[in-house]
Amino acid sequence: MKGFFSCIKNLYLDAKNINKKDPASRGILTVIFLYPGFHAIIYHRIAHFLYNHKLFFLARLVSQIARHRTGIEIHPGAIIGNRLFIDHGMGIVIGQTAIVGDNCTIYHGVTLGGTGKEKKKRHPTLENNVLVGCGSKVLGNIVIGENVKIGANSVVLKSVDKNSTVVGIPGRIIKNV
């Protein structure tokens, strides 16, 4: 029972974070009932639980229902931290071995994907407080450091040190704080 209440508390904190970060939000109830990014997180938490208990078919079924209902595809094996804000989430894809840290923001059309070259860990790791702009592609077994901002439509193929801003194709650092 303790785990259940902890899960509910974390979802509440997710919703509260979204409400705080989104200037268009009209309250936490709006987030809970109308935000597909929040719904995708709920579905993912269920699918990830099933995946971790080796119920792979059910996990993929839940993730495919989520994809159909929200337009956001998160593989059940992906590890998602607390307080993720998925803004205008349509078209987001997060791969199986991706790791997303706490307090991250991901905009629409983002792919956290593989390059097809790796065998085990194939997808990126986003550390805490990372912002990924709309349309960006972050590909391969790379690490995006804490407090990194990735500009819209960037293609990031190499690891990025913390406190940086990355833009372009291929992504290049334009600011180090």
Write out pLDDT tens, residues 91-100. 999 999 999 9
Provide the pLDDT for residue 175: 73
**Are 105 and 132 a contacting pair, CB within 8 Å?**
yes
Q: How far is CA 21 from the centre of its chain?
A: 15
Provide the pLDDT for residue 3: 65
Give the SS3 label for residue 94. strand
**Are 69 and 36 a contacting pair, CB within 8 Å?**
yes
What's the pTM? 0.90
Provide the pLDDT for residue 6: 76
